[in-house]
Structure 1
Amino acid sequence: MLDAKGDLAAVEVAFFGPAFLIGLFVVFRHGFSKQVGWLYVCVLSILRIVGASATLDMEVTNKYSDSLLTTAAICSAVGTAPLLLAMMGFLERINKGMEHKGISLMIFRPLHLISLAALIIAIIGGTDKMSSSASSQKTGKALGEAGAMLFFGILLALTIITLFNVTNTRYVLSHERNLLRACVIALPFLAVRIAYTIASAFSKKGGLFYYADVNIYVQAFMQFAMEAIVVCIFITAGVLTPKMEKQKIIEADVEGQKVEMISGPTQRSVRTEEQTRQDRPRFQAPQNIGDYRPSRLIKNAMSSRK
């Protein structure tokens, strides 16, 4: 018969199994792009299924091998990274659609590298913690603390970017506002999950969050429940958000002149027709490549003939 830890592992398999399948559907729907974060939702689901399966195997067979213990520890330690990377992918997509009104995409590159570095540190730290050597355990604890603080720093950066996007919602493409809502709603749950990671990393033997003997109810609430809620939020946003269209530059001939037009969503598309009519003069010459849309060219041509 399973104990409380085995019951939690069974619940994790029951949840993340379907979550992986739905997440995989969303990934294929939106495409395998580095700007799309649903791939990381699938990665998290795989990690949780593998870790929970290892725990269940030990609970059922009552054989606690070093390999299974290490597998469970590593899968538990790296669960934070996929959620942060998923949110980062959503914010990158949102700001790409905002064009010059959004955060520079160059900012996301170092954040992505730091996230991967924190992930590697967490994996090495989780492995060293399960070592029988006292020095390795000490190193693993130090690495776990460093990884936890890196995750906290990444969360702060993503929170700032999210708040910036919220204050500039009018520039967010209308069909991508579901992603922004998902990021805003997920933030408090991610904060609780990061708090658990930090508490677990800095906890000492005998403590409530000590990795080798963590309170199962604390783990169920601060780890599993928070991850499950965030995964549901991100998957729902993926189902409701249409597939991102790529912008293409198309050459055309208008009144004998060669022009270039952009197909696909742009930041200007979020403005209403009334706002556009009020902001532009009666005749406006194209100023940049974004002005060469068919509707703008036709209206300019008609205005010039009057």
Structure 2
Amino acid sequence: MKLDQRGDIAIAEIVFYVPILFLSIVLSVRHGATRKAGWILFAVLSIARIIGGITHVLSEQNPSNVTLQVIYTIVESAGLSPLLLATLGFLSTVAQYSLDNTPYMGVRTFRILHLLGTAAVILAVIGGVNMSNAKNEHDLNSAATIRHIGAILFVVLYAFIVAVTAFCWLNREQVLKYRRKLLFTIIASLPFLLVRVAYSVLGAFAPSSFGFDTEGHLIPVQSNSALRHFSSSTGDWAIYLVMSVLMECIVVLIYTSAGLRLPLKQDLVDYQRAETHIPMMSQEDDSYKYAQPYSYTQPYSQDPTQRV
């Protein structure tokens, strides 16, 4: 069976995220594999998108397979969270050794924001699953409410990310050299993240494509709401491609290219040297190897006639 436009997009996502998965593992080894560092979350996103692409293609080949549709719904709902949580991890890295001792920029703040992001994705997943398994109109409405709450939490999390980014920017002179460049990378990604968050919110409030009659039978529902175009499963494929898929890919490319270029561990070396009053010198700077020694001049003797 020939794939439709969304099936073609699913194939493209698989092709894109397979190398990103391996690259994210390399970056996790290089910069740190903890969730706090942020890089490992790109591996999570890659796995979600690969699984989502495969299940979407299979569901088009087997439209009656409800399990495939449920799996696709789950991983589609979970895609935004790794991007936002990774950005939080990068902001935590930016604040290291400089701003992390200031009020509201410590470990507790980032832990609370991570919990907020985790709660958002859990609600989004639960809402999507419940909507797929709804047996009546009440179940459908309850699932929609859960999705709405999850989407609102994503907006709140994005707002906090912007606020923390603004604080780091206003105090950028205190931020270490390569972490300052990472901050510029975060700022560059925020507009694309905003579009992605907006699509997620609009999709969460989009009307369902099915409902139930008075006897509880599942029936298709046609809606004239403008929000129907933003449905992640049945909406306009072009809007989905631009506002969701491309925005995610751009953010991933911005961050991974920065991860390959920035020697973030050098900041720690420079910081430790500064703390111990050792002159700071970049690992790339080997000019000291070619420095000439001080010339030796024989001192004057006390007898002026014996000066050399």
TM class by shorter chain equals 0.7 to 0.9
Choose which of 190, 194, 211 in structure 2 pairs with 1:191.
194
Choose which of 215, 236, 241 in structure 1 pairs with 2:262.
241
Q: 2:82 corresponds to which residue?
A: 82
CA contact (8 A) 1:114 1:150 kept: yes
Q: 1:266 corresponds to which residue?
A: 271
Offset of 1:234 from its aligned partner? 0.9
- The amino acid across from 1:89 in the alignment is G
Deviation digits for residues 177-225 of structure 1 (CA, Å, limit 9, x no counterpart): 2211111001000000000011011111432123441111111111100
Q: 1:150 corresponds to which residue?
A: 153
- The amino acid across from 2:110 in the alignment is F
Question: Would the alpha carbon gap of residues 265 and 129 (structure 1) be closer, same or farther in structure 2, given more than 3 Å must change?
Answer: farther
- The amino acid across from 1:10 in the alignment is I
- The amino acid across from 1:70 in the alignment is V
Choose which of 223, 230, 234 in structure 1 pairs with 2:244.
223
Structure whose CA Rg is larger = 2
How many aligned residue pairs are there? Answer: 258
Q: Secondary structure at the match of 1:185?
A: helix
Q: Secondary structure at the match of 2:230?
A: coil
- The amino acid across from 2:141 in the alignment is K
1:44-55 alignment runs, 5 A limit: 44-55=45-56
Deviation digits for residues 243-284 of structure 1 (CA, Å, limit 9, x no counterpart): 43696xxxxxxxxxxxxxxxx443995xxxxxxxxxxxxxxx
TM-score (ref. length: structure 1): 0.79
1:1-306 alignment runs, 5 A limit: 1-59=2-60, 61-99=61-99, 100=101, 103-134=105-136, 135-205=138-208, 206=223, 207-244=228-265, 264-266=269-271, 290=275, 292-294=276-278
- The amino acid across from 1:77 in the alignment is S
- The amino acid across from 1:163 in the alignment is A
CA contact (8 A) 1:101 1:171 kept: no
Offset of 1:62 from its aligned partner? 3.4
Mapped to 2, the partners of 1:161 and 1:83 lie a distance apart of: 16
Mapped to 2, the partners of 1:2 and 1:189 lie a distance apart of: 28
Q: Secondary structure at the match of 2:74?
A: helix
Question: Would the alpha carbon gap of residues 34 and 55 (structure 1) be closer, same or farther in structure 2, given more than 3 Å must change?
Answer: closer
- Structure 1 stretch displaced more, 33-42 or 152-161: 33-42
CA contact (8 A) 1:173 1:267 kept: no
RMSD: 2.1
- The amino acid across from 1:136 in the alignment is D
- The amino acid across from 1:65 in the alignment is N
Q: Which has the higher helix share?
A: 1
| Structure 2: gaps (5+ residues) | 209-222, 281-308
TM-score (ref. length: structure 2): 0.78
Question: Would the alpha carbon gap of residues 64 and 220 (structure 1) be closer, same or farther in structure 2, given more than 3 Å must change?
Answer: farther
Mapped to 2, the partners of 1:156 and 1:268 lie a distance apart of: 36
Offset of 1:294 from its aligned partner? 4.0
- The amino acid across from 2:159 in the alignment is L
CA contact (8 A) 1:16 1:48 kept: yes
